[in-house]
Amino acid sequence: MTQRASQILPDVAGDAADAARVLDWVGMDRIALPLRLPDASGRGLQVPAEADVAVDLRDPDSRGIHMSRLYLRLQDAFESEPLTLPGLRRILQDLVESQRGLSGAARLVLRYEHLLRRRALASDNAGWKRYPVSLEATLTDGRFDVALAFSVEYSSTCPASAALSRQLNAQRFAQDFALQAPESTQSVEAWLDSPRGLAATPHAQRSRAEVRVSLQPDIDDVPLEALVDALETALATPVQTAVKREDEQAFARLNAENLMFCEDAARRVAAVLAADTRVQRYDARVAHFESLHAHDAVARVSG
């Protein structure tokens, strides 16, 4: 054997497959990479992310794909430009072409946390809030599909518990003023502002809406912030960041104005997603992490 021949590294991936058949997806999961998200500056904000990447294997006789090509092409894919849907499509096409005829489809899943700055309800303060995001894109024989998944946390106050609490408050009022009617509106106000004026409080709990939407393929940007804004506006009681006493009071007022069963919350979420022209299909799950009992109240809706 010559010295030059001994330097050629073996490539057993090119051997014939033992049990010939095509494979749906072959690739790697949980690859670490930087992701540049669009921001107001136009330069993009870099965040840590992880990716699942795969291609199909259409040649039944080929033992394996060129896996290292997927990894290397993905490492620098998002470094130079912010994440856009046309950019995702170009990356998927490049992944297919890297396989030199072995594949006709590529799949990429990106997971990261998106930070949004949220204003306080009443005070002149703000804070950052994180939203876990999963973006799944596939390109199959030129067909481009994108699904966006994320979650929004909010507070839910039980309508039934609120009605029961109001009844107890009314009964205490009747008991305290059974022998003598209140002398003035001021005396009623003083009674309501005293410990006697609160016989019971309704139970409330942190809740979560988990959303997955299939996006229209002809849009350019991932509409995460717009969808989050619309859902938090519809639910009306999103979990807060910076909170002073005036913010807490405003939050309590919003909860009283927006009493919700999980069914109510699911309908609010569905109304937002059904009205958004960027959304082809949606699936949503709302869960109220009950403080009354140990199990959760859950509703699902799709359209």
Each residue's pLDDT tens digit, 205-262? 999 999 999 999 899 999 999 999 999 999 999 999 999 999 999 999 999 999 999 9
Q: Let me know if residue 8 belongs to a domain.
A: no
| Co-location of 235 and 121 in the same domain | yes
| Co-location of 104 and 210 in the same domain | yes
Q: At what angle do helices 85-97 and 67-75 cross, to 10 degrees?
A: 150
In angstroms, how far is CA 55 from the centroid of its own chain? Answer: 25
Q: Is 56 exposed, middle or buried (0-12, 13-18, 19+ CB in 10 A)?
A: buried
| Co-location of 226 and 256 in the same domain | yes
Domain's final residue, options 172, 197, 222? 197
- Dist CA 155 CA 195 (whole Å): 25
Q: Let me know if residue 16 belongs to a domain.
A: no
pLDDT at 13 over 70: no
Q: Let me know if residue 3 belongs to a domain.
A: no
CA contacts within 13 A on the Cβ side of 230: 16
Which helix (H) or strand (E) segment is 89 a member of?
helix 85-97
Q: Let me know if residue 6 belongs to a domain.
A: no
| Co-location of 180 and 283 in the same domain | no
| Co-location of 178 and 289 in the same domain | no
- Dist CA 298 CA 289 (whole Å): 9
Q: Three-state DSSP class for 21?
A: coil
pLDDT at 5 over 70: no
| Co-location of 111 and 45 in the same domain | yes
| Co-location of 101 and 186 in the same domain | no
Q: Let me know if residue 96 belongs to a domain.
A: yes
Q: Is 20 exposed, middle or buried (0-12, 13-18, 19+ CB in 10 A)?
A: exposed
The residue segments making up the domain with residue 166 are 162-197
pTM over 0.95: no
Q: Three-state DSSP class for 291?
A: coil
Q: Let me know if residue 12 belongs to a domain.
A: no
| Co-location of 294 and 149 in the same domain | yes
Q: Let me know if residue 212 belongs to a domain.
A: yes
Total domains in the fold of the chain: 2
Region 46-60 average pLDDT? 93
Long-range CB contacts (within 8 A, 24+) of 98-101: 98/66, 98/69, 98/70, 98/73, 99/55, 99/65, 99/66, 99/69, 100/66, 101/59
- Dist CA 231 CA 271 (whole Å): 9
∠ Cα 197 199 205 (to 5°):
115
Length of the chain: 303
| Co-location of 182 and 131 in the same domain | no
Q: Which CATH number belongs to the domain containing residue 60 in this structure?
A: 3.10.270.10
| Co-location of 171 and 35 in the same domain | no
Q: pLDDT per residue over 116-142, tens digit each?
A: 999 999 999 999 999 999 999 999 999
Higher-scoring residue by pLDDT: 289, 5: 289
Q: pLDDT per residue over 158-193, tens digit each?
A: 999 999 999 998 898 888 888 788 878 888 888 788
Q: Which of 57, 37, 59 is nearest to 48 (CA)?
A: 37
- Write a three-state SS string for 224-258: HHHHHHHHHHHHCCECCCCCCHHHHHHHHHHHHHC
User: Which pLDDT score, from 0 to 100, does residue 174 have?
Assistant: 87
Q: Are 13 and 63 in contact (CB under 8 A)?
A: yes
Strand partners, 112: 133
pLDDT band at 17 (very low <50, low <70, confident <90, very high): low
User: Which pLDDT score, from 0 to 100, does residue 61 have?
Assistant: 82
| Co-location of 263 and 283 in the same domain | yes
| Co-location of 60 and 146 in the same domain | yes
Q: Let me know if residue 4 belongs to a domain.
A: no
Backbone angles phi, psi at 22, to 5 degrees: -80, 160
Q: pLDDT per residue over 73-104, tens digit each?
A: 998 888 777 899 999 999 999 999 998 888 99
User: Which pLDDT score, from 0 to 100, does residue 19 have?
Assistant: 67
- Dist CA 112 CA 264 (whole Å): 29
